[in-house]
Amino acid sequence: MDDEPRKGGRGRALKDKNVANTHLGDKWENLGVEKRAELIRRIWKAFNEWLDNGTPIPADLRTWARRAPALVPEMTTHSFDLAASLLINLEGRTVCPYHTMYERGTEVHHDYNNDPTETFYQVTGVPHRPLKDVKANSKEGTPAVHTRLQNTSYLDRPTESLPSGKKRKRSTWNENFTRERILSFFPMYNGRYGMHCGCDLDEVMIDFVLWKTVKIESYSHPHLVEGWGEGRLRPMKPRDRAFVAVLVTRVFCYDFHYFFDFDSNGHAIDMNRRLRHHARILKNNYEATIGVIRDGIPSVGRKDLQLDTLDSDEENGRLAEKDSDEEAIGIIRLQKKLRLEDETGSSSESDSSASDEDDD
């Protein structure tokens, strides 16, 4: 026995200390040292087994992964597929970290039962009604597209028959643990994956990773470093989570799939790859085709990040002497001139017949 106060169900203290407690509370910080160590040992074993052959993480450990940010964050950040599978409960329903601990079942606060006269807001961060069963699919305001609840064995490793007639799990990688099968557990709303608790899958995945990994430190006491969900802190409330998702995907234009350590093909995603991918997104967003009017005629144009950056630096005096490589700048200027000619179909030095050329 550990020497910490013994807790009963949901982390409550046991009234009779002589009664053995076989049920773990649902609050990580209320568990004793030995119980925490046992959970850590079991979840590392399960994680290594998944890495070895794709055996799904057991349901009780998936629940603890949603409850405790300190519990093996490497499992959440490994890949989208593994992280999404951790959101599937024993019954095959999908539940976010917040609703694993709060507002269970029909008590969920969502956009359809919200009273703005009491909350002073209209968007709750839970866009859909919670789906308790397949009949809820026909409820007004719940245009979910999903089939009957999947049995979690749908992700189990396939079996093979032995000459003795017995069956065993195949020793090869689990061919049933695929993104298509994992996402089949999630209801879909207007082309977006949701969850049975009413939340949006993309927003939950962003929250799940950040809650598990982001750390802060004190500027006055640099040795004080702690994670988002450490101590008695809980998962982000759905409305706060929605704002964070907007910051990540719309303000910073970041692809949250690059939060993970491996892509869907099993290729590693390191920091250099993240930076290249993000730079490509920003460049493509900046250089997206736009409608322009040239000589009163509608046309299609596009901006050039490199050229526009050079123009801006020169205009604002940010082009340092050491950066003033006349040959390099001359090449950039020539590229800009040729591109403008290609867009307009003529150059300032060409004759009028060039304007009849097609602009591809």
Other Cβ atoms closer than 10 A to 343: 16
pLDDT of residue 96: 95
pLDDT of residue 30: 85
pLDDT of residue 357: 35
pLDDT of residue 341: 61
SS (H, E, C) 3-66: CCCCECHHHCECCCCCCCCCCCCCCHHHCCHHHHHHHHHHHHHHHHHHHHHCCCCCHHHHHHHH
This prediction's pTM: 0.77
Among residues 132, 135, 129, 145, which one has the least CA distance to residue 105? 132
pLDDT of residue 21: 45
User: What is the secondary structure of 221-276 as a DSSP string?
Assistant: -TT-EEETT-TT--PPPHHHHHHHHHIIIIIS---GGGGSSB-TTS-B--HHHHHH
Q: What are phi and psi of 142, to 5 degrees?
A: -125, 75
pLDDT of residue 193: 93
User: What is the secondary structure of 138-189 as a DSSP string?
Assistant: GSTT--EE--SPPPGGGGSPPEEE-TTS-EEE-SS--TT--HHHHHTTS-EE
Those residues with Cβ within 8 angstroms of residue 76's Cβ, 6 or more apart along the chain or in another chain: 65, 82, 83, 86, 208, 209, 212, 213
Q: What is the CA radius of gyration of the chain?
A: 27
pLDDT of residue 359: 36
Q: What is the pLDDT along the chain (360 residues), one digit of tens a residue?
A: 344 444 444 444 444 444 444 445 678 888 889 999 999 999 999 999 999 999 999 999 999 999 998 889 999 999 999 999 999 999 999 999 999 988 875 678 899 999 999 999 999 999 998 887 544 444 445 556 654 577 888 999 988 877 777 888 888 899 999 999 999 999 988 889 999 999 999 999 999 999 999 888 999 998 898 887 676 667 889 999 999 999 999 999 999 999 999 998 999 999 999 999 999 999 988 887 776 666 767 666 677 787 777 777 766 666 554 455 666 666 666 666 666 666 555 434 434 333 333 333
Q: Which two tokens stand for residue 115?
A: 């009273």
pLDDT of residue 160: 80
